[in-house]
């Protein structure tokens, strides 16, 4: 794949189909023969460290063994029993620092079993056949409201449906899927996979989604508590963090996650902005996703700026290498101090006794577009229209070990609680486990 467009091509506007082709796909699916060969590399460990490393606790040796014996459907069921978003997690999870990092093959040979690609092979096999392997339990007569149709909310809704409860999901946006639909790089979740996966999840029945229904004056937590037997909050993180420097409100400065959303929903508009010199501020996966895509779309230069060293970056080495392979430059030990028209002023940084020191040495880099990728915070504004609010801790919703908030009958999970890493797979685990906690609450 080309690292960018030539000088004569940068002004060419592409169609949506051409943009999709240019972004391509980060990793291709395994063929059946490749899957069998890779499955045969697994030791099928009895006390498998890969299972412990997976936030959803998938029986990884079990599903890989089934692939090796030709039972691909059974492998998919094993995955989906633990992680109903197994298809998207196979594409977006940083498996290199989770299950694959602790694989015995990695320890012995420096080459782990490619668990993510095998998971994708199995789940794609089942989804392509349009078969939902789970059935609903007898109806309990209980009704649960789920706020947010992202991975956490939908994982909760699906598990509640299997337990026989009727679920209504309230989603602020016009489409379901959360970050899978709006915030993941196009080369990780291509085509309409996010939509098809949600359709697959909803096919169990018993789940209704009301779109364009944000929490606020017209839909309050108070009213949901009055109308439903239990409530699950899967609100995610929706408030982009600010840099807190001069020039942040200039028109050529954009939130990186918002840019990715534009690229996924309005690709031609995003491509029109991918010109000239682009600076991306941040060191996580969102910075990598935004930088790599804007470079693929034709920006002349793309540079990621991070205030610490490569070892402290939130993005994995695989992600960093991916970006650099596609023409992105990563510069460390630089912190933005001001954004100007056409440039960013950066101060050199260093560590002293573990503390980050911003020096007085300043340089300027040209910038036609600046993308901020410095994380998101929980926005509690939608909850403020209710008389009673759940307790908060460290800027997020506080929960106990059973995902219960301080309000009776109200549970929460996913990024809005910050119980684990802000990853899709962790959000799915939260939603699934919260559903069982809700089921116990409804059975008391």
Q: Which CATH superfamily is domain 143-238+378-443 in?
A: FAD/NAD(P)-binding domain (3.50.50.60)
pLDDT, residue 222, reads 96
Q: Where in the chain is the domain with CATH 3.50.50.60?
A: 143-238+378-443, 240-376
Q: What stretches in the chain show pLDDT beneath 50?
A: 1-11
Q: Where in the chain is the domain with CATH 1.10.1060.10?
A: 32-128
pLDDT, residue 27, reads 78
User: Alpha carbon of 324 to those of 1, 5, 260, 317: distances in Å?
Assistant: 13, 16, 19, 10
pLDDT, residue 9, reads 41
pLDDT, residue 421, reads 83
Residue 404's SS3 state is strand
pLDDT, residue 20, reads 65
Per the CB < 8 A criterion, the answer to whether 152 and 179 are in contact is no
Domain 32-128, classified CATH 3.30.70.270, yes or no: no
pLDDT, residue 267, reads 84
Q: Per CATH, which fold does 240-376 belong to? A: FAD/NAD(P)-binding domain (3.50.50)
pLDDT tens digits for 362-395? 999 999 999 999 999 998 888 988 999 999 998 9
pTM as predicted: 0.92
Spatial separation of the C-alpha atoms in residues 348 and 278, rounded to whole Å? 19
């Amino acid at each position: 794949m080309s690292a960018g467009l030539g000088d004569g091509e940068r002004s060419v506007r592409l169609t949506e189909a051409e943009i999709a082709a240019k972004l391509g796909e980060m990793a291709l699916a395994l063929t059946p023969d490749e899957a069998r060969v890779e499955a045969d590399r697994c030791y099928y460990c009895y006390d498998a460290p890969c299972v412990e490393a997976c936030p959803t606790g998938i029986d990884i040796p079990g599903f890989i063994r089934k692939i090796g014996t030709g039972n691909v459907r059974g492998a998919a069921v094993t995955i989906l029993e633990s992680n109903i978003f197994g298809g998207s997690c196979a594409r977006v999870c940083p498996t290199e620092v989770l299950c694959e990092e602790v694989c015995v093959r990695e320890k012995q040979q420096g080459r782990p079993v490619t668990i993510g690609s095998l998971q994708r092979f199995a789940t794609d096999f089942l989804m392509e056949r349009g078969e939902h392997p789970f059935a609903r339990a007898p109806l309990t007569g209980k009704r649960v409201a789920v706020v947010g149709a992202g991975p956490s909310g939908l994982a909760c809704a699906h598990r509640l449906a299997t337990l026989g409860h009727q679920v209504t999901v309230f989603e602020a946006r016009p489409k379901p899927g959360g970050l899978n639909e709006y915030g993941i790089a196009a080369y990780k979740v291509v085509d309409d996979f996010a939509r098809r996966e949600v359709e697959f999840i909803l096919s169990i029945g018993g789940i209704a989604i009301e779109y364009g229904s944000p929490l606020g004056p017209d839909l309050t937590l108070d009213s949901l508590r009055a109308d439903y037997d239990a409530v699950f909050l899967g609100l995610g993180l929706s408030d982009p963090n600010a840099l807190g420097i001069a020039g942040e409100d200039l028109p050529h400065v954009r939130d990186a996650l918002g840019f990715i959303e534009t690229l996924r929903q309005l690709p031609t508009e995003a491509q029109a902005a991918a010109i000239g010199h682009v600076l991306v501020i941040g060191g996580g996966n969102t910075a990598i996703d935004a930088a790599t895509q804007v470079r693929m779309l034709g920006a002349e230069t793309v540079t990621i700026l991070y205030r610490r060293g490569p070892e402290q970056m939130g993005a994995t080495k695989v992600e960093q290498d991916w970006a650099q392979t596609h023409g992105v430059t990563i510069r460390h030990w630089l912190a933005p101090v001001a954004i100007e028209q056409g440039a960013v002023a950066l101060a050199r940084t260093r560590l002293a006794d573990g503390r980050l020191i911003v020096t007085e040495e300043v340089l300027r880099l040209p910038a036609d577009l600046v993308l901020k990728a410095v994380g998101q915070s929980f926005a509690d504004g939608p909850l403020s229209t209710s008389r009673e609010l759940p307790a908060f801790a460290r800027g997020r919703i506080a929960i106990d070990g059973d995902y219960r908030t301080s309000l009776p009958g109200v549970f929460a999970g996913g990024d809005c609680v910050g119980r684990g890493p802000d990853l899709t797979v962790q959000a799915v685990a939260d939603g699934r486990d919260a559903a069982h906690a809700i089921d116990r609450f409804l059975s008391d």
